[in-house]
Structure 1
Amino acid sequence: MELKTFTEMFSDKNALDFKKLKYKFGEENLKGYLDTLNESFYHKLPLLDFKGKPAVLLPSKVNMTVQLVKRLSATYSNEKYGIQAMEDEIISTLSIEQIDSSRESVRRILNGGAPETSNENKAYGIKRGLDFIAEPANKITEQNLYQLYMLAVGDFLDERDRLMPEHKYRHDEVYVVGQNIEHQGLSSQLLSQYMVNLIEYIRRDEGLDQVVKSIIIHYYLAYLHPYFDGNGRMARLIQLWYLVQIGYTSSLFIPFSAFINETKGLYYKAFTLVSYNSKVSEGLDVTPFVSYFVDNVLTKLQKRVEPTNALEVFNNLLQTGEITAKEKDLFHYVLSAYGTNEFSTKQLEGDYKNAAYATIRNFVLKLESKGLLFSQKYGNRVRYRVK
C-alpha cells in the first residue's frame, strides 16, 4: 500500500480499532495496513490464539515510560502486603465484577473476623489469594496456580461452578455474555495445553518489558477463561503475582484494581475491542488492552506509588543508629497500613495497638523532623502522611 495512506492510518486516533479504520479508509486499505503491521511492526508473542496462531503486540502504540517502570521496580523487602492497599484491592476487584462488599466488613475480615455472608466469603478469598502471592517462595507453577484459585475463588463457589476432582481447569465450555455473546473461552479440551504454555511464558525471559508482559499475562488468562467463575479476579491476581515474582514488590502497596474500577467501562471495552479486531484481522492483537492499562491504570498510579526517597532516607537513618527497633517497626506499619494516605496519631495508636500514645507522638514528631513525614492541619486536628 502507499506509504502516505499507511502513515495516515497508523497515526489515526482509531489506529487500534480495525472496524473504524475499515469504515474510514476502505477494506482494501485495511488489508494493506494489516499486512504491513504483520510484516514490519508486530512483535510476535509465544502465546497462541484459539486457531494456534501467535498473538501479537504493537510496541510503538504502548506509551510506557522509563520513570513509570522505575517507580514500579521499587522494592519493599520488609513488608508482605500493604494493609490499606489490600483493603482497596479487595473492594475494587469485587466491585469490577459487581460483587458488593462494604469497607467495614472487609476491615473486619482483615482484622481476623470470620466471613458471615457469601460476598464476605469472596472478600476473604481475595485476602487469602493476596497473602499467597505476597510470599516470594510461592513460585508461579501450574500446581500453585491451582492452589491460588482454590484459595481465592474455588473454595467458595456453588457446586455447579466448582472444578471437578483432579481437574485444574473447567471441564465444559463457557461464554461471556452481554447483550450478545461477547466472548467464548478456549475449548476445555485445549485448556491444559494452553495453560502450560502460559506458565512457561511467565517463567521465560523473552526480552519484552516486564511491566508490559504483566499486562499481557492479565489479558491472556481472561482470554482463555480457564474457570467457570472468578476469571477476572484470577487475571488481576496473576498479574500482581508475576510482578512480585520478578521483584516489583512495590505492586503489593498499589491497589491496581482501584484504578481499573475507576475506568471499568474502558476496561471491558478494551477486552471487547481485542475480540472485535480479531474477527476483522483473524489474529489476536493484544495492543488495545495493553494500551488501555498503561494509559488508564499505570500512569495514574504513579502518584500513589510509595515514595522511594523516604525509604532511602529511613534506611540511612537506620544504619547510623538514629532509628530504634521500635521506630523501625512503627515506620513499617505506617507504610503497610496507610501507604501515602493521611493518618492521625490517635488513629495510629488505635491501629497499631502495641505502643503508648506518648511513644506514638514522639515517633511522629521525630520522623517529621527527619523529613520522612509531612503534617497537615485541619482546624485543631493534625494529620500526617509519608513524604
Structure 2
Amino acid sequence: MFSDERFFDFERMRGRYSEAAFREFVSLLNDVAYTELPLRDASGRRFAYIRVKAGSCAKAARILMTHGGYARPYPFAAMAEEIVSSLALEGIDVSFENVRNILNGSAPSGYCENLAYCMKLALDFISDDANVITERNAEKLLRLLEPPPALESGRTETETPAALREDTSGGNVHGKAGMSENAGKISDFLQALTDFVNSEDDIDELLKAAAIHFFVLHSRPIGSRSGLAARMIHLWVLARMGYHASLAVPLSRSVNAARAEYREAFTLVLRNAGITGILDVTPFLSFFAREVYGKIGPLRETGESAERFAELMKEGKITTKERELWEFVQSYYGAEEFSTKTLERDFRSAAYATVRAFVVKFEQLGLLASVKYTNKSRYRAL
C-alpha cells in the first residue's frame, strides 16, 4: 500500500483495499510515518506530514539563498508577475504593465488595481527586514491585504473554485465577518502561526513555508482573499528565514501554471482529513516541491552580467546615475525589451540625452543587447 501510485488519495485507497487493510495502513501512518506539526485547525484537528513522501527542495534552497544585490527592496518585474499570478488564482484579471506601474508609484484605478495596490503595500512590508514575524506584524500584514468594505462592495464574484473560496471543512477562523468581528479566533490563529514560524525544528524550511501556506489558506483569516494572504505570508516566511531571493522569484507564476494541481492538492488534504481526522499536508508539500520549488532556475541577478557590472563599479567606470539606471532596468524590465523613450518615461528622473548615453555605453560594455527594428532600436539587459 505504501508504494501504491494512489497513495495520497485515501478515498481511492480505501476502495481498492479491504477495510481491515486500510485501517491498518492508517494506523501505521500514525505510529510510524507521520511527523506531527504544532498546528491545529479551528476544529482541533492536528497537522502532520510524511517526510519521505514530501519531496526534496535542496536545489531551490541553494538558489533562493543567493542575493542578486538589487538595490531596490524587490525587482519590480518579478514581483509584478507575482501579483498578477496571485490575483489570477483568485479569478482576478489585471495587466502586468499596470501592476508594474503601481509598484513604480502610479495610482491604482478600479477594484482589481486597488487589490494589486494592497499587495504592493504588503510587499513593501515584508521586504523590510525590520518587520520580523510576530503576532502584531502578522496582523498588520493581514490588514494590508484585507480589502476595505467599500472596495469589496463593488466587486464581482470571482471564478475561484469553492474549495479555495469557501473552505467549509471546519478550519475557517474568519466566519462571515471581518477580522475585527472575529478577534478571538484571529488571535488564536496568529499565535499558532507565529509560534510555528519561529519554532526550532528539523523540518525542511522550504516545506515548512509551504505548510504555513496551507495553514493560512485553510484557516481563511481574511475570508475570500485569504489565498492572497497565504501566498504573501509564504514569501515573508522564506525571506525571514534567509532565502533573500524569494522576493526576486515569482513563485505564484508556477502555482498559477499548475493551478489545477494546486487546487487538487489542497482539496485532497481536506478529503483525506475527512476520513482520518488528521490534516496530512503531504500532498500539498509534494506539489510545492515538484511544481513550484522544482521549477526555480538560476537568477538573472547572479549571472555574468552582475559580475561584470560589479567589476566596472570597482574600477570606477560607472557613474552614480548610470548605476541607478542599470538597477532600474534590471528591476523594472527584467528580460523584457525597452526603448530609450520608455526608459526615460518609466525612470522619471533622467533626461533623454542621459538615457541615450547610458544605453550606448552599456551596450558597448556588453551589459545591454540591442534589437534593431525598421526605424528604431530596443534594448534588453543581458
Q: Same fold (TM over 0.5)?
A: yes
* Aligned-pair CA distance for 1:232: 0.8
Q: TM-score, normalised by structure 2?
A: 0.83
Compare 225-234 and 315-324 and name the one that shifted more. 315-324
CA contact (8 A) 1:183 1:275 kept: yes
* Aligned-pair CA distance for 1:289: 0.8
2:304 aligned with 1:301:
no
The 2-side partners of 1:269 and 1:199 are apart by: 27
2:355 aligned with 1:350:
no
SS in 2 for 1:184: coil
Q: For structure 1, which runs of at least 5 residues remain unmatched after alignment?
A: 1-8, 161-175
The 1-side partners of 2:339 and 2:363 are apart by: 13
Q: For residues 358 and 64 of structure 1, do their structure 2 counterparts lie closer, same or farther at Cα, with a shift above 3 Å needed?
A: farther
Among 243, 248, 251, which residue is 2:243 paired with? 248
2:61 aligned with 1:75:
no
SS in 2 for 1:20: helix
CA contact (8 A) 1:177 1:183 kept: no
The 1-side partners of 2:216 and 2:84 are apart by: 21
Q: For residues 182 and 363 of structure 1, do their structure 2 counterparts lie closer, same or farther at Cα, with a shift above 3 Å needed?
A: same
Compare 232-241 and 103-112 and name the one that shifted more. 103-112
Comparing both chains, which one has the higher relative contact order based on Cα–Cα distances under 8 Å and sequence gaps of 6 or more? 2
Compare 87-96 and 264-273 and name the one that shifted more. 87-96
The 2-side partners of 1:281 and 1:106 are apart by: 43
Q: For structure 2, which runs of at least 5 residues remain unmatched after alignment?
A: 154-161, 174-181
Q: Which amino acid aligns with 2:119?
A: I
Q: For residues 31 and 379 of structure 1, do their structure 2 counterparts lie closer, same or farther at Cα, with a shift above 3 Å needed?
A: farther
CA contact (8 A) 2:166 2:224 kept: no
SS in 1 for 2:73: coil
SS in 1 for 2:203: coil
CA contact (8 A) 1:126 1:153 kept: no
Which residue is 1:203 aligned to?
198
CA contact (8 A) 2:26 2:276 kept: yes
Superposed, 1:266-305 pairs within 5 Å as 266-302=261-297, 305=299
Compare 135-144 and 187-196 and name the one that shifted more. 187-196
Which residue is 1:101 aligned to?
94
Q: Which amino acid aligns with 1:55?
A: F
CA contact (8 A) 1:88 1:258 kept: yes
The 1-side partners of 2:253 and 2:195 are apart by: 29
Which residue is 1:184 aligned to?
170
2:218 aligned with 1:226:
no
Q: For residues 11 and 70 of structure 1, do their structure 2 counterparts lie closer, same or farther at Cα, with a shift above 3 Å needed?
A: same
* Aligned-pair CA distance for 1:263: 1.9
Q: For residues 177 and 212 of structure 1, do their structure 2 counterparts lie closer, same or farther at Cα, with a shift above 3 Å needed?
A: closer
Which residue is 1:29 aligned to?
21
The 1-side partners of 2:276 and 2:362 are apart by: 58
2:38 aligned with 1:46:
yes
SS in 1 for 2:201: coil
Which residue is 1:129 aligned to?
122
Superposed, 1:293-332 pairs within 5 Å as 293-302=288-297, 305-309=299-303, 310-332=305-327
2:311 aligned with 1:340:
no
2:107 aligned with 1:114:
yes
Q: For residues 380 and 181 of structure 1, do their structure 2 counterparts lie closer, same or farther at Cα, with a shift above 3 Å needed?
A: same
Which residue is 1:165 aligned to?
none
Compare 106-115 and 64-73 and name the one that shifted more. 106-115
Q: TM-score, normalised by structure 1?
A: 0.82
Which residue is 1:19 aligned to?
11
The 2-side partners of 1:112 and 1:326 are apart by: 20
Q: For residues 363 and 36 of structure 1, do their structure 2 counterparts lie closer, same or farther at Cα, with a shift above 3 Å needed?
A: farther
Compare 252-261 and 181-190 and name the one that shifted more. 181-190
The 1-side partners of 2:302 and 2:93 are apart by: 34
SS in 2 for 1:43: strand
Among 225, 234, 237, which residue is 2:232 paired with? 237
Compare 114-123 and 223-232 and name the one that shifted more. 114-123
